[in-house]
Chain A
Amino acid sequence: MVKRLFIATFVAISPLLAVAQGLITGHITDVRTGEPLIGASVIVKSEKGQGVVTDIDGNFSLQTKVEAPLTLRVEYVGYRALDVDVYDFEEPVEIQLIDNSNRIDEVVVVGYGVQKRKQLTGAVTTVKNEELLSTSTSLDNILGGAVAGLDATASSGQPGASINIRIRGGNSINGGNEPLYVIDGVLIYNSNDATRTGASFTGSNFNPLASINPSDIESIEVLKDVSASAIYGSRGANGVIIVTTKNGKHGRINIDYGYSIGVSQVRKRLDLLNAEQWGELYLDLATDAQKAATGVTPELVKTWGAGTDWQDAFFRTATTQQHQLSVSGGSDVERFLISGNYLDQNGVIRGTDFQRLGARINYERDIFKNVTVGLKSNISKSTQRGAYSFGSYSNGMSGLLELAIRTSPAVPIYNADGSYNYANPFESGDFVRNGQTPNAIADLSEVDAETKVDNVLASAFASWEIVKGLKLRVQGSLNIINTRQDVYGPSTSTAGFNTDGYGSIGSRRWESDQVEATLTWNKKWKNIHEIEVLGGYTYQQEKSERVLAAAANFANENLSYHSLQSGSQLITPESEFVTSVLYSGIGRINYSLLDRYHLTATLRADGSSRFAKNKKWGWFPSLGLAWNVNEEKWLKGVKWLEDLKLRASIGTVGNQEIGDYVFLSTYAATHYYFGSGTKNTAYYRSGLGNDDLKWETTTSYDLGFDLSLLKGRLSFVFDFYHKKTSDLLLSIPVEQTTGFSTQLSNVGNVTNDGVEFAVDATLYQSKDLSWSVNANIAHNKNEVTSIGTQQSEIINGNQTIIRVGESLGTYYGWVFDGVVQKGDDLSKVPSPSTKKNVEYGDAKYVDQNGDGVIDQENDRVVLGSSQPKFTYGFASQLRYKSWDFSFSFQGSYGNKLYNQLEQALESPNASYNASAKLIDRWSESNPSTTIPKAFALNLYNAYLDSRFIEDASYLRLKNIQLGYNFKPKFSNGTKLGIYLYASAQNLLTITDYSGYDPEYSGYVDRGTYPAARTFTFGVKFSY
């Protein structure tokens, strides 16, 4: 929990003797930062209506008729109000205010409004780490490890790549599992699909949220339970993340400029064979014909030495630079923020980078006393380059990373003349053509693969307080994501290899229009009853238009994708239009009795075009209760107890991320050729429809308490929850004799049960020194409880199984049982069904059903799950005078990951390099019990084997930062704040996982783009 925790516990008062009356002067500052507070109001308590506000230096002077001693009442938004006793008017009064973050009367952003934290019935965590937000390049650095029950993992270490976020575990098998984002009131389901164009070989890994500049963010609220998320109805099931961007404050103009430069490297390298070691392996494996063809002899191998380090050539030391400039300010009637940012981030794999140029204008004005209008807008363009994926027929290679590190170290990258070497004599199969082979390092610079995204996110609102307590708010918003993906693979590259060059341009224009109107009424009766009623209507439409063009076989490759017409082989263009609409009615009642018994009842009705004709509308109710126990009379006297609130909620939410038109039966187009190669259109029914298809339903309850002790210096949050997701969208197998294999239906259940615990502590707080720590830990148990009546398990290829009673992401495979040693009775060793003749040195597997044969059908067992047992994080902030120091850790425990790259590296063949572990492979003289002997046609590498299901628990020092803040005094009185900092991301990772990186959102690690370790230096100027 990386919350701002500085809670002042002392109040500076200047108790002086009373000698005069008349003019009181003073100076008001923030207790923590020492910054003057502009616009704070000061009144004399006993003198009605006589008040002033502080000027831009935080000074005030107040004329009064009251004689000393008197009491001043000081109030300022976001700070605790303070009563100051003044005994003497001669000396200026120094007043320090304490900001009220994490305070019970703090205001929290919730769906379609704000609420006092005290009255909140839901489980909501606020992330408000200004330092991290202003220095990070992406959101995952901020969220990872910061919120109990929120698991943020990267899908790839590529700059600009998406992060996967799971709030309280995953609910869905085929639908979306990502939370709903609400950015300044605009609802966004963050999906890579919005930026996918279908262009082959692109990374397809662009995160639409990467368009948002983290330093523009004021706060992030994570809505975890149903009381908080039910107001989002059919989109609330996976939790909600509300992002609020900054606006100016009343007072003087602030100008902030920040610059940072970072240096990144890969955290680790894998240990591979060098050329001579690989040569010996090759001699073991290659057939006589192969050896004759390549001319490799034992004598030659001895001369090879270390050979080429392809891995080293693949990675690089990369730099990242960031500029950020913002101007903000405001007056009595308006507030604004204008910001611009530029990020240039190079990836640790050569040829990969990410750039973002963005601008924001946030503006708000009170046009009448009771009417406010405003705009929040963000425009950005981003470019992501490099590290493309392979198409089909890639010789079993998953991508460039694997091809690079598995290319034989006996093969040089460059020819003697410095050109790329396209002749790898050991390459085989799909990657040999015209006597030429691709070169993974050449691909990094020769292949163009670019994703360019323009993103406009803007919302305008008007709010009108019709009568006191009755407020109408109307907001219209627009989100346009324009993506263009360009690819060119020259004929020497893996991308253009088979087709003499391949060029492709894809474009997608994704648009979401949203209109909402809410009416809020609140009223308070004599401090006994307080009620707030919210009613509203929203409408959202999404449109997505895609076009894709491609060509192959380029006579001249100089023009790259800029001249697809140069390709002699034209590939069928594709276009697509997808639209969806969502109408919703929302309602919420917040009721507080005696300001200590709270009730929140919400209801949302969603009508979605994604639901089939019989299920167009879904209703999503929830109820939340909270009780401020500490305010009961019998606890009033307990001084150490600052706050104790019990919370309970129950309700139902949905997941409408089931795809568009999936309920329809339509005719799709394909082609067949007649005549002398003339393309003819063919239409076929593309699926069985389902008139009852609807959202996935999640019903859950949450019990929790918030406890705060010692005037808020120590606080705890605890939650226990149960979620049951039903109506899971599954493809139910149907009789293929009908012409179809599956039909989508709402069947199946998944449950998530968990506990979350968070603690914040201010260990010390004074003007010069403060030290706080916070930590959180969450346990979630995910279980599939039904996958329909017809089946009890679904096996996904050779990797995972969805089985009733197990969690999602359960691995399923053979159990490795050592190596057959000389002296073993070969006839008693269970043999794989395809290899009757077991030999010494072969891998052994556990024969689960004891039939003497190892097969896929009967001998696979559950080998663990990719779901962590615990996720946790802890962080600390230390401030001493002008210095500050902070760090944050993120951890995950008990999660497994299938290290398929390692399996590939331990399955040697005569073409590719292998793991250095194979030096210790079984032989008669080296009876290894862990590494079987090498043989060319490895029988097992296609199947999941328990050796490669690794424990991917990790503890990662996500961020560590040291900063220094100083304020040089200029002769003309200009006040400039300068902040210098040095930080490191992913500095330390403790894990047993043997691959590049244990933090990976997928099930199978086949050489994912590794996360980088980055050192950053930065400076911020504020005026």
Chain B
Amino acid sequence: MKKIQIYRTAQSLLLGLTITLSQVSCESLDQGNLSELAESNLPQSDADAQALVNASYANNITMCTSFMYLFDLTTETTVSGENPNGGGGMLGLLAWDGRNSYIVSAWSTIYTAIARTNDAIDKLEKNPAGISPAIASRVIGEAKFLRAYWLNYAVQIWGPVPIVTTPSGGKNAVRSSETEVYQQIVNDLEDAAERLPEASEYGLSDIGRATRGAANAALAKVYLTWAQVDDDLTDAQRKEYFGKSVQYAQKVIDSGEYSLEENFYDNWNNQNRNGKESIFAVQCYIGSSINGDNSGGNHLCHCSFSTSYSVSLPHIAPGPDNTVENSYEDGDQRKDVSFADSLWRPSTQSYFHFYFDSDGDGVRESGFSRYNKYIDHDSPETSASDRAMNRQVIRYAEVLLVLAEAANERDGAPSQAAYDAFNKVRRRAFREDINSSSAQPHDLAAGLGYQEFKDAIIQERSWEFTLEQKHLLDLKRWKILVKSIKNSKLATDFPQYNKQNIDMKHYRFPIPQAQREVNPNLWQNYGYDGSEITTNPYIGRE
């Protein structure tokens, strides 16, 4: 009897305990992340829809310097003051390989950014509830613009590259031909141009988003480049694409949305962000950085002035030969905006000289100038740490020069329209009346033939677009990469910068080695470790 009671007591206590415990332990084993959204929660509003595409814009922040390292430092214009064994240093010394950190991160950032656009497009094409059709369409337009923007960089860096257009895509990716890639780019841009508003149609709070003007300007440049670089095109196609380039450039001009800044400097003046000449720019404000350093994230500012007012060489600088700086004609306002051999220093109220002049005759014996475009003149002493200037990606001046170049290519000779566009850029440089119908002192000499006009464009672009992440790409599309760099003063007089090592293989960057290990479909470009291409495919380019 007693025993039974004990057992009963024990039983009821155990039962009570079990109930108590199960009440205490009410949490499920399926614990979701409460600090990050689940896929099912997105997108629910217009703001969500925009947030999805904003993520692809954000990838631009980290690429500001990467594109400089890839497209400026690699050429005869620029040298590096950083450790030459780092990824940047190696790019500058033309020692490129498939493990270079900048090449590796360019691949990963570009395809990450493309995946973000694919995700946005995929979600918004399903017409999710809660999102207004107008916003959905515009966001799809922005995403397609950005997808084309990123793919356009990819094809210019590596040549044939994988095309990924769906969120689940990208597995067992193969390198599509340049023709296919450019076709994808123009398809996206043409659809984007349909969907996107003009810059003036955006509200103030949306300035900086992709616009119809940006899509058209990009189309002009892409058609020009495509026609120049794609060896598989027929002559008829080339002519057609040069024509399309001219048409799209003309559309931008005709839109009336843009005009040249009278002061060239206003393109980098922080008091004039997204000014009338700016068509597409990377927005860098204090706090923009996604590296956690609270800066604007534009490392062009950091790298070109990292040593501030000192004679130590910053991460990037014009070479000691000063070829470009010395080549400007007198009176060209672009020279002092682009280069600084001295800089006004507010804290000492005097000019600081970056060069070394031992005998004081005002002629430098040694030392380098600074790239001046990405020094924030509102606050030069903190420019390198603030890094809060927009990176100009497409300026109206380029649309004019693209039109001039494409018309010259299409027609085999410069038309009046080509001259007019070209001269606008020259007139602004010399502070002349840009839109005057009469000739101006610095207008290009009339009656040039195709090649002379092309040479003028080549020269003009080097003055106009110093440190604007275009030079290497220009040399490649003009097919003068090797000879331009090999014959440069930097290569011949300063062998320590290794520019004399330029080679045909440098027409393309190597595919990241680690990606080739994950995906054997990614064949390596000619001239790099692991490439199976034995004959130089670029022969005859120069």
Contact = CB atoms under 8 A, between A and B. Distances in A.
A572 interface: yes
Contact of B58 (A292, A537, A575, A682): A682
Given A576-B35, A733-B514, A432 B287 contact: no
A288 B367 CA distance: 9
Given A672-B288, A683-B51, A738-B169, A288 B358 contact: yes
Interface stretch (B89-97, B429-437, B448-456, B471-479): B89-97
Q: Is the interface of A mostly helix, strand, loop or mixed?
A: mixed
Nearest to A476: B24
A666 interface: yes
Given A289-B367, A392-B293, A832-B85, A671 B36 contact: no
Contacts of A666: 33, 36-39
B35 A577 contact: yes
B36 to A, nearest CB: 4
Contacts of A856: 99
A609 B30 contact: yes
Contacts of B514: 733
A738 B311 contact: no
Interface stretch (B202-210, B224-232, B411-419, B531-539): B202-210
A468 to B, nearest CB: 11
B208 A674 contact: yes
Given A676-B207, A834-B93, A292 B358 contact: yes
B422 to A, nearest CB: 33
Contacts of B21: 515, 517, 537, 539
A597 interface: no
A659 to B, nearest CB: 11
A683 B52 contact: yes
A418 B412 CA distance: 75
Contact of B34 (A579, A683, A857): A579
Interface stretch (B105-113, B132-140, B253-261, B502-510): B105-113
B192 to A, nearest CB: 17
B170 interface: yes
Interface residues of B, number: 110
Nearest to A937: B84
A968 B97 CA distance: 80
Interface residues of A, number: 101
Given A292-B356, A434-B381, A499-B294, A583 B29 contact: yes
A942 B381 contact: no
B171 interface: yes
A288 B356 contact: yes
B438 interface: no
Residue among A497, A500, A580, A738 with max Cβ neighbours from chain B (10 Å): A738
B382 A288 contact: no
Contact of B95 (A432, A581, A833): A833
Contacts of A578: 33-35
Contacts of A941: 83
A925 interface: no
Contact of A289 (B54, B284, B311): B311
A512 B118 CA distance: 41
Interface stretch (B42-50, B241-249, B324-332, B439-447): B42-50
A317 interface: no
Nearest to B41: A667
A919 interface: no
A435 B111 contact: no
B119 A681 contact: no
A966 interface: no
B518 A733 contact: yes
A735 B85 contact: no
B286 interface: yes
A944 to B, nearest CB: 12
Contacts of A738: 111, 115, 164, 169-171
Contacts of B29: 581, 583, 607-609, 611, 616
Contacts of A676: 204, 207, 273
A559 interface: no
Nearest to A938: B83
A335 B473 CA distance: 82
B35 to A, nearest CB: 5
Interface stretch (B212-220, B301-309, B483-491): B301-309
A681 B54 contact: yes
B294 A670 contact: no
Contacts of B10: 466-467
B84 A539 contact: no
Contacts of B348: 435
Contact of B310 (A428, A539, A675, A835): A428
Interface string A426-465: 0011101111000000000000000000000000000000
A497 B294 CA distance: 13
Interface string A525-552: 0000000000001010100000000101
A77 interface: no
A666 B86 CA distance: 34
Contact of A834 (B6, B61, B89, B208): B89
Contact of B311 (A287, A684, A911): A287
A675 B292 contact: no
Contacts of B162: 737
A667 B205 contact: no
A685 B51 CA distance: 12
Contacts of B311: 287, 289-290, 292-293
Contact of B55 (A579, A580, A683, A911): A683
A739 interface: yes
A682 B204 contact: no
B366 A737 contact: no
A676 B204 CA distance: 8
A667 B347 contact: no
A393 B347 contact: no
A926 interface: no
A939 interface: yes
B47 A681 contact: yes
Contacts of A671: 54, 58, 287-288, 290
Contact of A541 (B27, B36, B385): B27
Contacts of B84: 834-835, 937, 939
Contact of B294 (A434, A569, A678): A569
Residue among A537, A661, A686, A834 with max Cβ neighbours from chain B (10 Å): A834
A510 B367 CA distance: 56
Interface in A929-982: 937-943
B287 to A, nearest CB: 7
Nearest to A570: B287
B115 A581 contact: no
A682 B57 contact: yes
Residue among A474, A611, A678 with max Cβ neighbours from chain B (10 Å): A678
Contacts of B33: 578, 660-661, 664, 666
A191 interface: no
B294 A672 contact: no
Interface in A683-711: 683-686
A466 B6 contact: yes
B250 to A, nearest CB: 28
A664 B32 CA distance: 8
A685 B52 CA distance: 9
Nearest to A665: B39
6 contacts: A517-B17, A666-B36, A672-B57, A674-B283, A738-B115, A856-B99
Given A515-B24, A683-B54, 20 more contacts: A290-B311, A292-B356, A293-B310, A393-B385, A429-B314, A433-B308, A498-B293, A539-B21, A552-B294, A616-B29, A666-B36, A681-B51, A683-B37, A734-B518, A735-B171, A735-B173, A736-B107, A737-B171, A738-B111, A739-B114
4 shortest interchain CB distances as A-B pairs: A739-B115, A682-B54, A737-B170, A289-B356
Interface of A: 287-290, 292-293, 391-393, 428-430, 432-435, 466-467, 472, 474, 497-500, 515, 517, 537, 539, 541, 550, 552, 569, 571-572, 575-581, 583, 607-609, 611, 613, 616, 660-661, 664-686, 733-741, 790-791, 832-837, 856-857, 910-911, 937-943
